[in-house]
Amino acid sequence: MSYEALRKECLEAVRQWPGCETVGGIQLIGDSTPGGFLVRGTLYGKADKKIADRAINCVQRENRRHFHLNANRGDCHDQPSIVPNK
C-alpha cells in the first residue's frame, strides 16, 4: 500500500466518527519504533479537537496493527512505503 493510500484511508476512517466529518487533514509521521508511525491531525475544521484526537488515536492504533512503515534509504525524495504486518 502506498503512503498516500494509507493516509487517505486513515482520513476517511477518522471522518466516519460522529463529529469528525469536517476533519480536513492528517499527517503520517515515522516514529522511533521499528516500522511504527504516528497519525497526526493538522486541519480540524469545525470538529471538536478532543473528539477528533480520540478518533485519530483509535485509527492510528488500528492501522499500526495491520501495517508498518518501511523507510526508503535511497533518494531523499523517496516516499516511505507501507507494508502489511505478518
Block means of pLDDT (10 residues each) for the chain, length 86 residues? 85 96 92 82 95 95 83 50 66
pLDDT for residue 80 = 58
| Domain ranges for the chain | 3-75
pLDDT for residue 65 = 87
Residue 80 is classified by DSSP as: P
pLDDT for residue 12 = 96
pTM: 0.78
Long-range contacts at 7-13 (CB < 8 A, ≥ 24 apart): 9/63, 10/39, 10/56, 10/59, 10/60, 10/63, 13/55, 13/59, 13/62, 13/63
pLDDT for residue 84 = 72
